[in-house]
Amino acid sequence: MKTLFYLFFFLLIFSCDNPTPNDLLPNTPVDITINLNNPEFNNLQIPSGWAYTSGGIKGILLYNRNGTYVAFDRACPHLAPTSCSAMVFDGFLLKCTCDNSLFNIFNGGISETEGVNYSAREYHVQVINASSLRITNY
C-alpha cells in the first residue's frame, strides 16, 4: 500500500505541467511601496482603475481587480528587453508594442497570442493599510 502511494505521488508530481521558464528577462529585485493618496495613483482606488509605476525591468502596471490589486512587469515576457518591449495597458490586456502580443491580466498574465508560451511577469502586492501598497518579487 505504501509503495502504491509513493508511485501515485511521483506520477502526480511529474505529470504537472510547469510553465516554460523565461530566461530572456533578467531577475530584477522589486520592493516598492506606493501611497494610493498620491495623485498619480488616485485611479487605483476604484475597481478597474490602473496606473503605471517605476520598478521592475520596464516599469510596472498596477490594476485594481475589484479591491484586489495585481501588478505586472511591463517587459514583454517572450522577448529580450529592448527599446520597444515595454507593454501598454489596452483594455484588460497588456499589449507588447514590438509585435502586438497580448497578455490577459485576469488569468495571471497568460498570453492571448498564439505561439507565445510565456506569461507576463507578475509581482506580489500586499495592502499595508488603506492607503499603501507594497509590491515585491514572489
Total tally of structural domains belonging to the chain: 1
In angstroms, the CA 109 to CA 65 distance is 13
Say what the pLDDT of residue 83 is.
Answer: 80
Domain assignment of residue 55, given as a range: 42-138
Say what the pLDDT of residue 6 is.
Answer: 40
Percent of the chain having pLDDT more than 70? 83
Q: Quick check: is 93 in a domain? A: yes
Say what the pLDDT of residue 8 is.
Answer: 41
Q: Quick check: is 113 in a domain? A: yes
In angstroms, the CA 28 to CA 136 distance is 10
Instruction: Identify which has the larger pLDDT, 130 or 51.
Output: 51
Q: Quick check: is 67 in a domain? A: yes
Each residue's pLDDT tens digit, 67-125? 899 999 999 999 888 888 789 998 889 999 999 999 999 988 899 989 999 999 999 99
Q: Quick check: is 8 in a domain? A: no
Percent of the chain having pLDDT more than 90? 61
Say what the pLDDT of residue 2 is.
Answer: 53
Q: Quick check: is 55 in a domain? A: yes
What does pTM read for this prediction?
0.81
In angstroms, the CA 76 to CA 96 distance is 6
Which segments of the chain are extended strands (E)?
31-35, 50-53, 60-65, 68-73, 88-89, 93-95, 102-104, 110-111, 122-129, 132-136
Q: Quick check: is 1 in a domain? A: no
- pLDDT over 90 (residue 22): no
Q: For residue 137, what is the domain's CATH number?
A: 2.102.10.10
Q: Quick check: is 37 in a domain? A: no
Among the ranges given (5-9, 21-25, 28-32, 114-118), the one the predictor scored with the smallest mean pLDDT: 5-9
Q: Quick check: is 27 in a domain? A: no
